[in-house]
Amino acid sequence: MIQVNSSGHLTATQRYEYKGTIHLHSRYSDGSSTVPKIIQKAADAGLDFVMLTDHDSLAAMHDGYEGWHNQVLLLVGQEISPHTHHYLAFDLDKEIPGKYREDHQTLVNEVTEAGGFGIIAHPHGGKKPPLFRVKGHAWKDWSITGYTGIEIWSYMIDWVDSVNLLTFMYYYFYPEKAITGPRPETLCKWDGVAQERHVVGIGSTDAHAKPLPIFRFIKFFPYEYLFRTIRTHVLLNEPLSPQSLPDSKRLIYDAIKAGHCFIGYDLLADSMGFTFMAETPGGAALLMGDEGLFEGGTDLFISVPQPASIRLIRDGVLFHNAHGKMLRLPISQAGVYRVEVYYDDQPWIFSNPIFLRKTKE
pLDDT digits (tens, 9 = 90+) for 43-72: 999 999 999 999 999 999 999 999 999 999
Quickly state the pLDDT bin for 6 (edges 50, 70, 90): very low
CA-based radius of gyration for the chain:
20
- 295 contacts 280 by C-beta, under 8 angstroms: yes
Quickly state the pLDDT bin for 1 (edges 50, 70, 90): very low
CA atoms within 13 A on the CB side of 233: 25
> What are the distances in angstroms from CA 260 to CA 21, 42, 257, 312?
15, 22, 8, 17
pLDDT at 131 over 90: no
Taking phi first (over 0 means left), then psi (-120 to 50 degrees means alpha), and beta for anything else, what does residue 259 get?
left
CATH 2.60.40 residue ranges for the chain: 3-8+274-342
- Three-state SS at 40: helix
State residue 166's pLDDT score.
83
Nearest to 13 by CA among 26, 1, 28: 1
> What are the distances in angstroms from CA 277 to CA 10, 129, 272?
8, 39, 15
- 60 contacts 76 by C-beta, under 8 angstroms: yes
Nearest to 249 by CA among 74, 42, 54: 74
Give the span between the Cα atoms of 1 and 76, in whole angstroms: 37
Q: How many other CB atoms are found less than 10 A from the CB of residue 237?
A: 13
| Centroid of chain to Cα 226 | 14
CA atoms within 13 A on the CB side of 208: 14
Give the span between the Cα atoms of 353 and 190, in whole angstroms: 10
Quickly state the pLDDT bin for 180 (edges 50, 70, 90): very high
The CATH code that applies to domain 3-8+274-342 is 2.60.40
Give the span between the Cα atoms of 268 and 50, in whole angstroms: 20
Helices (H), 45-139: 59-62, 104-113
The CATH code that applies to domain 14-265 is 3.20.20.140
292-351 tens-digit pLDDT: 999 888 999 999 999 999 999 999 999 999 999 999 999 999 999 999 999 999 999 999
Give the span between the Cα atoms of 82 and 97, in whole angstroms: 9
Give the span between the Cα atoms of 336 and 194, in whole angstroms: 7
CATH 3.20.20.140 residue ranges for the chain: 14-265
Quickly state the pLDDT bin for 136 (edges 50, 70, 90): low
State residue 55's pLDDT score.
95
- 288 contacts 352 by C-beta, under 8 angstroms: yes
